[in-house]
Amino acid sequence: MRFRLTRLVILLAVLALAVPLTAEAQGKGTIKIATQSPLSGELAALGEGIKLGTQLAVEKFKAAVEKAGFKVELVPFDDQAKPDVGVANAKNIINDKDILAVIGHLNSGVAIPSSEVYKEVNLVMISPANTNPLITDRGLPNVNRVCGRDDVQGEVGARFAKDELKVKSVYIVHNKNQYGQGIAEYFQDTSKKLGVQVLGFEGTEERANFDPILTPIKAKNPDVIYFGGEYPQAAPMFRQAREKGIKAKFMGPDGLDSSELVKLGGDAVAGMHFTTVAGGVKEYPKAKEFADEYKKKFGKDPEPFAAQAYDATAVALKGLEAAIKEAGGKVPTREAVSKATRKVKYSGITGSIEFDDKGDPKKATYLIYQVGKDWKDNKLVKRLEIAAPAAKKQ
């Protein structure tokens, strides 16, 4: 009996120590981190990767904020890759005062109008994937990204086509949205500067029958067809081009950086090249543990931008930690979190992250791949580390 009493006393003592710690971890309330990315629709594979990468990072790095007395919670939003949905979500996000950071978006055309809403309350946004220069060139103090930019990526692609593929002519097609048309224009501008003949430049929202576009392309016989946009349009267009007997090489930007490209395009896309600001996790030696944990937890390999979302979330948590400390342990303001996040210096799984004055990473990674018959067989043919362009004078 005495032995049982002793064990009971020990148990009660342990519980007495544990309860205050639990209470302390949640005693000051909840801090939420939101994601905005397409979780439904044809770009859901990439959007879900952003959400899941963020989820892993929250679980991995929330301890410091919880030690300060706050529960950390992830709240995912589905922007459906549509600007109006993203803006509607953004309005709901800023009305939830517990949300102190946003990780997203996938599409620049959604991120730009949504970030104008975040700006109203100085809510920090860190993008793992948005490459349009306007993301940061507007000079918003709350908007940052951990990836590269389309003005650089477009130039990288055009120089590769000229110098490595030795092409003399290109035909450029884009999807008419802010991202696709934008990077197509950057590719076109550099191609012209390099003396490559641009045989055509046109936009289309077609998703099934590309014959009206491909017939004139076949007649002009370009060395390369470049598609500015995402894989759901690019893959069937390239497949139909091969079926039509067009022999041109194919190229595109990071919107094609998804295993879905091969599933939709089949043999037609094997051997083509694309540029990207993300790439596979195998290109980042420090990302192996992340990739293993991701596959163990979610039963699949991480899509491009999942690792970037992981790093973006880690940066957000560092910013939160610093802002809480500056606030004397109290809930920080959104403006304080934005200011603290801009100052974070972080060594992540995709590289060192330090923002410049406009929210770009001081150096970003640009990769060029050749697509294999299976996505895991993609070959990295070039890797560049390039500084962000300086802010343009207004």
* Digit-coded pLDDT (tens) for 332-358: 999 999 999 999 999 999 999 999 999
Asked whether 173 and 236 are in contact (CB, 8 A), the reply is no
Is the separation of the CB atoms in 114 and 36 below 8 Å?
A: yes
User: How confident is the model at residue 27, as a pLDDT?
Assistant: 85
> For the chain, what percent of residues have pLDDT higher than 70?
93
Q: Tell me if 224 sits within 8 A of 167, measured CB to CB.
A: yes
Mean pLDDT of 7-31: 56
Q: Which helix (H) or strand (E) holds 197?
A: strand 197-203
Percent of the chain with pLDDT over 90: 90
Q: How far apart are CA 100 and CA 333, in angstroms?
A: 8
Neighbours of 263 (CB within 10 A): 13
Q: H helices within the chain, ranges in order?
A: 2-26, 44-61, 63-67, 83-95, 108-120, 134-137, 150-163, 178-193, 211-220, 231-243, 260-265, 288-298, 306-326, 334-342
Q: Are 217 and 200 in contact (CB under 8 A)?
A: yes
- Binned at pLDDT 50, 70 and 90, residue 391 comes out as confident
C-alpha–C-alpha distance, residues 335 and 122, integer Å:
5
Average the pLDDT over each of 22-31, 127-136, 271-280 and give the range with the smallest value. 22-31
**Closest to 106 (Cα-Cα) out of 188, 40, 203:** 40
pLDDT at 280: 87
Judge whether 90 and 111 are in contact, CB under 8 Å: no
pLDDT at position 26, please? 57
What is the C-alpha separation between 347 and 119, in angstroms, rounded? 27
Mean pLDDT over 289-312 rounds to 96
Residue 146 CA: distances (Å) to CA of 95, 206, 223: 26, 32, 34
Residue 151 pLDDT exceeds 90: yes
* Alpha-carbon distances, residue 245 vs 179, 270, 279 (angstroms): 29, 16, 30
pLDDT at res. 14: 45
Please answer whether residues 102 and 74 qualify as being in contact, where contact means their C-beta atoms are separated by less than 8 angstroms. no
pLDDT for residue 80 is more than 80: yes
174, pLDDT greater than 70: yes
| Digit-coded pLDDT (tens) for 22-73 | 444 558 999 999 999 999 999 999 999 999 999 999 999 999 999 999 999 9
Is-contact 71 22, C-beta < 8 A? no
Note the pLDDT of residue 127: 98
Length of the chain, in residues? 394
pLDDT score, position 16: 46
The per-residue pLDDT for range 226-262, each reduced to its tens digit, is: 999 999 999 999 999 999 999 999 999 999 999 999 9
Whole-Å CA distances, 25 to 28, 67, 68, 69, 265: 8, 6, 7, 4, 50
How confident is the model over 104-113, as pLDDT tens digits? 999 999 999 9
- pLDDT grade for 20, boundaries at 50, 70 and 90: very low
Q: What is the pLDDT of residue 343?
A: 98
Q: How high is the mean pLDDT of the chain? A: 93
pLDDT tens-digit series, residues 187-234? 999 999 999 999 999 999 999 999 999 999 999 999 999 999 999 999
Tokens encoding 90? 């953004």
Q: Are 341 and 315 in contact (CB under 8 A)?
A: yes
Amino acid at 256: L
